[in-house]
Structure 1
Amino acid sequence: MHQSLLIFLYFFFAIQSLNLPILLPISPIAEIEICVLESPVAANEKNIDDTPNEQPSKGSGLFGWMKEAMPGKAILAKVAEKARSSVDTMITTLDPQMKEFIYSGGDIDIAVASTKELKVSSVREAFQTVFGKATVKGYESQSVGTAAQPVGFASALQAARERIANLRSSGTVPPQQPVVSVEGFVVELFSDNWFEMNCLLLEDPVRNISVQVFSQPLMVPANAVARMRNCTTDSYPLRQSGFAVTVGQAVAEEFNVPATEWQMALTGISRRDILLLAAKTLANSYKS
């Protein structure tokens, strides 16, 4: 009895949003007796026999009624999908980490040229949002020919390409594997006005696709820029492509904030939110 009632309540909320007739149990016996609440239009089309002693037919019960009241598989499929979506939402709300497992799979398999959870989780959520299901995993990869803190769009794109090339050459991923690289950089957009941005590059050799997007800019404090310059000596071998210390390190030393969370501390916007928006743009561009 309790199991039948739970099943009834489960489908009650699922079919309610579809504006279907709703069943109400009227007897707490082992085999549930039901009555059908119908709209005025349906009531005018036929007379309802309200005899209280009428015994339930062979097809009575919740699932028996559903087969009779909802012919075909289309509506049942909608009910099942609505119920599944509701359960998925409940599970991911109670345990957000389950989202990775529920929405993994499908035809989209993406490798991220980094093991930093900030980058991997942003790309994963973006592709699962756009494609419904996607498998996204991170792999360690570094850019060896670019400065620790790339400066300018060209240096950022070069560093992103190096990460992908190093990941492929290591044999960690198959040659045909689509790979996403995320590279943070700073750029002087106006005179003495420096900004941090992120370059997201996706390369798919099978479809011969290369897509690149850039995140929104965040202003970098002038004293942090001065520190990056002072720490980059003339003997630094990668000086032409950028600074020897990252913007996160410079801001952390100047303002005593975490190097990986300075964006939130100074601007109120987390880097993950910034990467997520850019990654969604990347995923939509890849999909189209």
Structure 2
Amino acid sequence: MNAASPAKPTLVALLHGPDQPGLVAKTANWIYERDGNILHADQHRDDEAGIFFQRIEWEAAGATEGEKEDFSSFVKALGMKVSIAQSNVLPRVALFVSKIEHCFVDFLARWKMGDFPAELVCVISNHTELRSITEYYGLPFHHIPVGKETKKEAENSQVSLLRDYKVDLVVMARYMQVLSADFLATCGCPVINIHHSFLPAFAGAKPYHQAHSRGVKLIGATAHYATAVLDDGPIIQQDVSPVNHRHSVRDLVRRGRDLEKSVLAQAVRWHLEHRVLVYGNKTVVFD
């Protein structure tokens, strides 16, 4: 099942570059002069870096593919970088999972209800425990074991599958493996990870145990783009829950699971709706 697209296809552009006078007017006029209809527009300026950011969505009067190319050329002539999506072209998503099922099951349920404007094309796992759930939802399940001696071979197989399925986004729904720099450089698409901590605090393994030992008063979850540095990629979404001295590690894990599900879902939805603009190790999210 896929989320329903608008009746009339739209174009969504994310652009950024050095700030200069008249950028909002120039982009709006370009669309107006071609009889386009702007549905949403938002912008932001990073005062310290002097960078302008904009998200603009519009209905094109003519063929969307041609207008997409023309607008891209126009924006690049202004010295800006741009990416453009078409609302009637649904991104193809692959889920990476291990044994932990709460984020995975929650994601499948949301997808089935049409919450994500995407095609979920396959599930890839280093274990077999989640095969039956995957097949219940009618999705292909690929078991690729990962060991110290076979990690490179396993990642090569994963990359091959991603190419076969023409995947546009990988979602790590508590996939308990560190993706190598080689994998991230060759997989051909962004990777969103959910970390069970309010990064940059408590990166790595067992963050709830770390948080409990530190006696924190807040625990959190972080969805971010995966990079070669563990748990250090651009952050898309975070949320927290208050805790106190009465809460055990088990209590923190239970509360954290609820955060992980909602934070991952929101981050993926924003990405699929073309609302996240990455620059440096930061993001601008047009929510």
State whether TM-score is above 0.5. no
Which one has the bigger helix percentage? Answer: 1
Which one has the bigger strand percentage? Answer: 2
Higher CA-based Rg: 1
TM-score normalised by the chain length of structure 1: 0.30
TM-score normalised by the chain length of structure 2: 0.31
Higher relative contact order (CA 8 A, sep 6+): 2
